[in-house]
Structure formats: C-alpha cells, structure tokens
Structure 1
Amino acid sequence: MEKRSSLILSPKKLIYDRIAEQGTVSKLDLLNEFSLTKSTMTRLLEEITREGLLIESGFGESSGGRRPILYQINPSYGYILGLEISRMYSSLGLFDMQMNPKSIIHWRMDEAFTPERFLEHISNQIRAFLRDHQLVDSQIIGIGIGAVGPLDRENGLILSPLHFPAEGWNNLPICKLVEERTGFKALLDNGANTALLGERWSIRHANIQHMLYVHAGAGLRYAMMSHGSIVHGTTDMEDAIGQMIIQTDGPRLDNNGNYGALEAFVSVQALENRARSEVKMGKDLILNTYKVTAEKLTYDVLVQALRDGNPHVTELFTQAAVHFGIGLANVINLFHPETIILGGALINSHELFFQTAVDVALKNTYRYPEYQPQFSLGKLKEEAVVTGAAFMVRDHMIL
C-alpha cells in the first residue's frame, strides 16, 4: 500500500473498485463503463480472477445470446483491520474484502489508556480475532487507523489532540508503533474522514457524491466528500469546525482555540462547564436528585437527567443544539451537500438534540426549501470509523 494521492490507478484497480462498488457485474456492464476493448477486458478479468481477487458468481439475464458471467470480488481474498482512536471510546474491527464485519469490539478510554497500554490492548485483541476466525498473519492486508486529530497523515503522526484522558498522545508516531507491535502495515486518517468513508460505503448504491459528516462529542469534528472523494486541506482540518466563531467576543473553551468558537457552546466539556457554573450561581439543577457534587456533575449524569426530563438540563441541551444548528448552517451554506450525517455523543444523547439542530440548520440554510439536504444519523453509527478505516486500506491496495 502507498498513499493514494500519489497513484494513477491501474485499469485492474479501476475494474476491481467498480465491481466492489456494484456487488455483481458482467463483462458487458464493465465494457459500457470503461474505454477498453473486449479482448483487453477479458484478459484483465481473467488476470484478476486468477489472482484470487475476483470470483465468478453465476450468470446474468440473457439478452438473446449466452447468459453473461457475473463477477464479484472475493470477500475472503484477505482481511482488513480497522482501528478507531478517540477520546471517549475506541474500537477495533476485523473485516473481509467486502467490508463485512467479522468481529468488532469497543472500549471506553480512561486515564489508564496510555499509548503503551493501548498498543498492548489492540495487539491482544487482534490475536484473539485471528484465533477466533482461524486466520494467519499473511491473510491480513493491513490496518487502517481513524484517529482524533490534528494529524500528520503523511508521516503517520498524532500531533496534539485535546481532552485525552491519558498522557502521552502528543507527537505520537502511531503508524510506526502499530506496525512494530502488530506486524501489519498501517494507514492513518482522521476519524471524521474514515467515518464518512464508512457511511458512504454503507449507502454506496444511492450514488451520493457530495456529503458532510459532523461528529459532536468531546470535541467537534467534520469531514466533507465531493464527487465521491474526501476533501483534504493542506493541514489536517478535522477539528476546524469547532473553531468557527459564532459569537464575537464569546467564551473560550478551556483556554484553547478561538473566543466565541462553536466548541465553546457545543461539546461535552462545554455542557459540563455550563452546568457546573449554574450550580455555583445557586441554580441547583440536579445535585440533590442524583446525589452528586458540582465536581462530579459529569456528562453521563447530565444525559441521565435529560432522559429523565429534567427541565433545566433539557434547556442546557436545547441551547447547545441551537448553536450546533447555526454552525451546521454555516458549513452547509459553503458546501451545499446532498446528505449530512450527524454522529457523536451529543447527537445520540436524545432525539431532541438531533431534531432541534436540524430544524435550526434548515431555517438558516441558503436557498431552502428549493435546496433541501437530507439529514441522517447514519447507518453504521458507532461502527462508522472502524469500517471506513478498513475501507481506506482496501482503497489503497495496488493491483
């Protein structure tokens, strides 16, 4: 594998990707899509099949002559690992070549998950996956990593992520460390990009070309896809949406970033800070009901209070959702995607948050209702990052 941006895709890779996207395809279907002669197409299909990447999957409908052979990619040609590195929860998944999940595990990140402990944990889990599915190392194509940014993707580095509960994650050569620990080639992108890749794969038959993914949790992360490809900036821009200024001279989150930035109103930390401030001002939101001190007034407690219908906490989440909707509208007005997928702890806290944010975003969307984007919670949800990370590895295969 190597960086896709440096590649001119071979005809074999283009054919393989098209078959993977469509599921089952005949030679005639491929001839109608590619400017290749029949003899060249026949030779390429025979080569890819002989290499084990494709298999014949029966016959299509006849149009008057012999029924055409149908091809599909061989799901068991190899297996791919997807790894999510996030602040609150991380995940590891094993996938076949058709991105069917064979095993996926999730675990909560805490102060014990230093990089060394993290690497030990995933190494043990990978060995368990291989034992469970009776696989050997040579069957693993590689491991894709979707991590919290900012990143140096080219050099496989996690640079300076905020709000990690454990120490040691700054300037971390994660690809090198994973490769040394597991023996498998690693590729890195930010978690928002890989989540969008995963969600796009799950609805590939809809042929959506322009998509936006926004994750609202411990921080705000986003990714954009145009003409079916992830949009990358000159630097990793996953957390840039959180630095969008929505209130001049507004608050700043934990002495980082811009004043009046979106993340100061919409994030786990912002909600916790707001709730604790109100308690200190004499507004006893939920301390007595849930028997916690102001210092123990965590996001988990707030979510429970929200779901129990506490009016003060409901107002806190509603205000955050309104601000989030304004931020969404700003991005939508710059890009006008077909589909917007929302994920993360805040989005999943309660249907109130999602619906309020969507309503506010639409009210502030330029050319609405003539232009009406589709909002979604996604199909893969918490498995989007690991699926997209695995997809990234397959996407970078050289044929």
Structure 2
Amino acid sequence: MSKIIEELQQDRKMIFSLIQKKGPLTKRAIQNLTNIKLTTLNRIISDLIFKELIIEESVGESTGGRKPALYNVNSSKFYSIGIDISRTYTQIVLTNLKMQIIKEKRFSGEDWYSSEDLVERIVEAVKGLLYGINITSDYLLGVGVGVIGPLEREKETKTSSTNMGKSSFKSKLIKESLESRLGLPVIIDNGANCAVLGEYFYGFGKGYDNIAYFNCGMGIRTGVITSGKIIRAINDREDAFGHMVISIDGRECYCGNCGCVESYSSIYSIVKEFKSKFKKENKSCTENYLDSIDYKDVFNLANKGEPISKAVVSNSAIVFGTALTNYINLLNPQLVILSGPTIYNSDIFYKLSTEVAIKKINASNANIKFSKGGYFKEYTMAVGAAAMVIESKISLGAERRQQ
C-alpha cells in the first residue's frame, strides 16, 4: 500500500497533486487548470476515489442547476513521517496528506550519544506516535529525515558523517537502520532543503516561483528554491551562506576563513562576543557566572535594553542583513523566511536584519516579502521532511532524494 501513489500513472499523479495542493476543487476547476477532457477526468477521479486517495468532500456553489461536487484528498487514510535531526533536538511528526500534524514528539539532543542510540530513540518515538491510533504501516508512505549536512551524493557512501557536537552520526547508517526497523522507505536530505520544500508546496511559499529559507541558530542553514527547483551547494552543504565572507579582515571562523557570516551572526559567535565584551566592562565577574550565560540570556538582556548585549546582537543583525542583501540580489527570491532560535528569541535581530536587507537591496522595484518563522514555525523542517516523502512520489519534476 505504501507504493500506491508511486505506482500511479502520470496523469493520475498530476490530478492527485493538484487536488492535494489546491483542493477542494470541482471538476470544472480542475479542467480549467489542466485542459483535460471531461471523460478522461471522470475516469481519473473514479480511479483515485477507488484507491481511497481522494474523496468527494462536499458540494460547491451552484452557478445554475445542480450543485457541483468538490474533491479533496483523503486526509484520514494515508500518512507520512517527518524527522528533523539537529544539534540540540530531534523532532518527529506524523502528518496526513494535507501536511497537517496528527501527532508529534520531540526529544533533546542530550538523549542520545551515538547513531545506534539515535535510531533506537527515533523508533521508540515513532511507535509511540502510532500507538492508540488506527494507522498501520500499510498506510504509511514513508519516512523523511532532515539532517545537518553535508550529504556527499557523488561518493560511494552517498552520505557523510555529521558532527553533532558531543558525537557524530552517519546518514547512511540512519537510513538503513530506520528502513530495517520500521519497514518503510526512508529519504534523507538537508533539513533546510526539507524546510524550503515544505513551505514552497504547502506553506507561505505557495504561489511563488522563488523562495529562500534561513534557519539562524548554532549555525546558519539555508535552503532555496528557484523556478521550482532546489538549488544545491557543493556536497549539498546547507551552510554555504553562513560561510559567505562579509569582511576580508574579519573575525576568524572555524572553517579556516576570516569574516564569514557565521563568525558574527551564529548563536555561538553572539554569545562568545557578548561574554568577551561583558568581561572587559565588568572585570570582577567570575568565570562561573559567564559560563552560566546562554544565548537566551543574551537575547533577553538585549530585548530589555542592556547596552552590551544590545550592541552585540545589533551588530550581528547588521552583518546578517548585509549578507542577506547580497543573497537576494544574486538569487532574487520573492519570499524570504527567517526561522530558528535566534529569530524566535530576538525581535531586535529579526527587525534590524530585515530592515538592513530592504534598505540595501539593489532594485528600485524589488517586492521582497519576509516571513518570521514561515507557515509551520518550529515544525518547518520536520513537516518539510514529511512533505519530501510525498513529493518524491507525486511531483512530476521532483528530484528523487533517496540516497
């Protein structure tokens, strides 16, 4: 049953995808969008109803005579699992075909210490999500996993080890282990690519050709879609923007360059700069006190107007906004979504960085829209991973991300 969508004929995939994203729709509306003959459309709709992929949901407004039927996807039959693995947490969601979250589970990055342990925690969490609800594996389309890159597609291993701070994991091992334990197909991609895909098809990105997604946290993760296609960096790195050099004589970055965006605008850099400046201004403060300060403390102080933290956060926002200007001028996104811990915890950072970007954009008629968090907010990467499973089966031009 998990292959029922994948095995559809192309015309049925097209109609199903259209109804899924734009439904409920009448037959007339579908015809206007596709130019398919009514007799052909009737056969396709009957087949999709028989396969329980769509339903006749209700009736539409009459234009004279009998009211037309409205068709929508069957949101209570088929499901997808999305997983977002970051340095500090793992988020798991169960979604229906409309990308609505049915259940979700989140656990801390401190709750696992190896790839094998992470797989155990994920399997346990997935079983917990399915417990008590009438969903069998027959109606689960697959598992999408968003991870921190890079993913080395051209090499034999197809994936790379990812440094998660206290330990590392191999994407290939995660994929193979989850497929074995869950009995479902697993697709892995960078979390930022998952996020931008989910927003493009199901969130605030619907109706746009070009959108960009930024997750500002311990690092700066970026996903971009141009003309409906994900633009991939070398080795599928999602931190390419973060290592854009913004000042040739700037701060040293862990990548070996100087003046990278991340060396100013990542959480690590913001906290490090605040502690350095605070210690200079308050020579009597102890190391224990400085060690106890985390990024939320710095952002809270800045939001309250404390001068050192406010100056540090403001400078990081100006750097980020300037780099964002370069990015916008180069790729011309119509919608820019800013997300992640920095955005959610610092009004100053979001407001100032977007103001700088808008002011510096080199286009008099630029009509760039910004979104704080996107449609799915903190669930964007996990929902995007679930969407990746469905899109891999139904989008006629979608890349098959099944490394």
TM-score of the two chains, using structure 2 as the length reference: 0.88
Contact 1:78–1:96 (8 Å) recurs in 2? yes
Distance 2:216 2:274 in 1: 18
- Does 1:382 find its partner at 2:378? yes
Runs of 4 or more, structure 1, over 6 Å off, are 6-9
1:362 counterpart (351, 358, 363): 358
Alignment of 1:47-66 (within 5 A): 47-66=47-66
Question: Which letter maps to 1:237?
Answer: R
The alignment partner of 2:389 has SS state of: helix
Deviations 1:108-166 (A, max 9, x none): 2138432222111111111111113232222211111111111146888552434x233
Higher mean displacement: 317-326 or 345-354? 345-354
| SS of equivalent residue, structure 1 residue 141 | strand
The correspondence of residues 1-399 of structure 1 with structure 2, limited to 5 A, is 10-110=10-110, 112-152=112-152, 158-162=159-163, 164-170=164-170, 172-203=172-203, 207-233=207-233, 235-254=235-254, 256-279=255-278, 282-284=280-282, 287=285, 292-368=288-364, 370-377=365-372, 378-397=374-393
Q: Cα–Cα, structure 1 residues 205 and 222, in superposed 2: closer, same or farther, change >3 Å?
A: closer
SS, match of residue 324 in structure 2: helix
Query: How far does the alpha carbon of each residue in 1:60-80 deviate from its partner, in whole angstroms, 9 at most, with x for none?
Result: 233344332221111122111
Matched residue type, 1:217: G
Q: Residue 382 of structure 2 aligns to which amino acid in structure 1? A: V
Unpaired segments ≥5 residues, structure 2? 396-403
Change (3 A) 1:56 1:206: same
Secondary structure of 1:82 counterpart: strand
More moved, 150-159 vs 60-69 = 150-159
Structure 2: how far apart are the matches of 1:86 and 1:276?
Answer: 25
CA distance in 1 between counterparts of 2:371 and 2:230 reads 18
In structure 1, what is the equivalent of residue 401 of structure 2?
none
Give the conservation status (yes or no) of the 8 Å contact 2:270–2:312: yes
SS in 2 for 1:81: strand
CA distance in 2, matches of 1:336, 1:181: 43
2:108 partner letter: R
d(CA) in 1 for partners of 2:10, 2:232: 23
* Alpha-carbon offset, residue 89 of structure 1: 2.4
| RMSD across aligned positions (CA) | 2.8
Counterparts of 1:139 and 1:371 in 2: how far apart (Å)?
Answer: 45
State the secondary structure of the residue aligned to 1:354. Answer: helix
Distance 1:35 1:218 in 2: 48
Q: Distance in 1 between matches of 2:202 and 2:340?
A: 18
Provide the rounded CA distance (Å) in 2 between the counterparts of 1:198 and 1:285. 48
- Count of residue correspondences: 391
Q: Structure 1, residues 323-375: CA drift from partner, whole Å, max 9, x if none?
A: 0001110100012211110011111222111001011111110114x213111
Quote the sequence identity (%): 28
Q: 1:284 to 1:205 in 2, by over 3 A?
A: closer
- What secondary structure sits across from 2:57 in the alignment? strand
Cα drift, residue 35 of structure 1: 3.7
Q: 1:348 to 1:45 in 2, by over 3 A?
A: same
Residue identity in the other structure for 2:178:
V
What is the distance in 1 between the residues matched to 2:14 and 2:26? 15
CA contact (8 A) 2:115 2:170 kept: no
Quote the Cα distance in structure 2 between the aligned partners of 1:62 and 1:300: 55
How far did 1:197 drift? 2.2
Counterpart residue identity of residue 319, structure 2: H
The answer to whether the 8 A contact 1:245-1:260 is kept is: yes
Q: Is the 8 A contact 1:112 1:166 kept in 2?
A: no
Aligned partners of 2:265, 2:204: CA distance in 1, in Å? 31
- Give the Cα separation in 2 of the matches to 1:8 and 1:319: 53
Distance in 1 separating the partners of 2:275 and 2:26: 62
**Cα deviation, residue 170, structure 1:** 4.8
Q: 1:398 to 1:336 in 2, by over 3 A?
A: closer
Q: 1:92 to 1:330 in 2, by over 3 A?
A: same
> How big is each residue's C-alpha offset from its partner over 1:180-222, in whole Å with a ceiling of 9 and x where there is no partner?
2322211111111111222234446951221111111111111
Post-superposition CA distance 1:296-341 (Å, at most 9, x none): 4432432343344321111111111110001110100012211110
Q: 2: CA distance between counterparts of 1:69 and 1:179?
A: 40
Which region of structure 1 is more displaced relative to structure 2, 234-243 or 118-127? 234-243
Task: Return the alpha-carbon distance in structure 2 between the equivalents of residues 204 and 305 of structure 1.
Answer: 32
Distance between the aligned counterparts of 2:36 and 2:21, measured in 1? 19
Gaps of 5+ in 1: none
Q: In 2 relative to 1, CA 75–63 (structure 1 residues): closer, same or farther, beyond 3 Å?
A: same
